């Protein structure tokens, strides 16, 4: 048991570097340890709530890291061949390389803008993680639930494409209860519509303050700030016409500070706009 715990402590951070949430990493390791098992067995082995296991396993299935089969005894989960994990690592490495190449392309332009008298050392920009796939939104939202207890998460969303009609209970039955359990407050900037009005009506009991985005303030990029991370999420059309979801998580550093400043600016504008409307 001690050896297994030691291995898990070493492996789990590596799995998280591949973009798995803490719960996803725990469920993957649990499934690997016990073989074919029911959700309840995975929950017991991973020592996390069954509701959390459901969402974690759903994400692992989408990544191809676990498989499920229906038997007379119910649905059983088991890990896919470990080689699938190697392919995930290669995909992450490829995405990171692409991001690095794009940044390298603009370095000469940035150098040209730099003051000729500047002799200060370069600034470390903090950790940047790149995400891609259908489950990106849920994976990053899970990260936000690990924010310090009693802290405040900030959300800016002008479009509905991250509120999936396929999973309408995600907010009400999963995300909000977990956020409240950790006493994490929320500040939400949302366009003025029926959903935003419903949010505001429940603000007091859900530790939230909702403000409506002023007319003309529009973005197709979702911004989420929590703990020491800021996340940007968006969708783009692929060559086959389908949409792909992308995400960047910025951990600390000046880019993180910039995201916080931008949110505060829009937050104040939204507040002043609402005051003028009475």
Note if the pTM is more than 0.85.
no
Note the pLDDT of residue 119. Answer: 45
Note the pLDDT of residue 106. Answer: 52
pLDDT band for position 164 (cuts 50, 70, 90): low
Task: Measure the CA–CA gap between 59 and 268, rounded to whole angstroms.
Answer: 36
pLDDT, tens digit (0-9, with 9 covering 90-100), for 94-121: 666 655 555 556 556 555 554 444 444 4
Note the pLDDT of residue 111. Answer: 55
| Residue 274 reports pLDDT greater than 70 | yes
Note the pLDDT of residue 227. Answer: 94
Going from the N-terminus, what domains does the chain have, and what CATH number goes with each?
2-81 (1.10.10.10), 123-277 (3.30.870.10)
pLDDT, tens digit (0-9, with 9 covering 90-100), for 234-265: 888 877 788 888 889 998 888 899 999 999 99
pLDDT, tens digit (0-9, with 9 covering 90-100), for 191-209: 888 878 888 999 999 999 9
């Amino acid at each position: 048991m001690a050896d297994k715990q030691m291995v898990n402590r070493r492996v789990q951070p590596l799995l998280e570097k591949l973009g798995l949430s803490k719960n996803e990493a725990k469920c993957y390791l649990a499934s690997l340890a016990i073989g074919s098992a029911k959700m309840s067995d995975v929950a017991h082995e991973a020592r996390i709530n069954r509701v959390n296991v459901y969402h974690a396993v759903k994400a692992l299935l989408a990544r191809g890291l676990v498989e499920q089969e229906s038997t007379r005894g119910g649905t059983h989960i088991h890990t896919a061949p470990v080689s699938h994990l190697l392919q995930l690592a290669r995909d992450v490495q490829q995405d990171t390389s692409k991001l690095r190449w794009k940044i390298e392309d603009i370095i000469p332009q940035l150098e040209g803008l730099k003051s000729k008298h500047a002799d200060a050392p370069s600034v470390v920009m903090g950790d940047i993680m790149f995400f891609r796939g259908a489950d990106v939104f849920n994976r990053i939202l899970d990260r936000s639930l690990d924010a310090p207890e009693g802290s405040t998460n900030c959300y800016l969303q002008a479009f509905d494409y991250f509120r999936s009609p396929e999973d309408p209970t995600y907010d009400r039955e999963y995300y909000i209860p977990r956020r409240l359990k950790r006493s994490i407050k929320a500040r939400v900037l949302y366009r003025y519509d029926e959903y935003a009005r419903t949010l505001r009506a429940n603000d007091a009991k859900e530790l939230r303050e909702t403000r409506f985005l002023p007319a003309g303030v529009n973005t197709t990029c979702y911004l989420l700030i929590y703990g020491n991370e800021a996340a940007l999420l968006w969708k783009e059309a692929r060559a086959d016409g389908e949409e792909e979801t992308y995400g960047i998580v910025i951990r600390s550093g000046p880019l993180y500070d910039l995201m916080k400043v931008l949110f505060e600016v829009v937050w104040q504008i939204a507040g002043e706009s609402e005051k003028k409307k009475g």
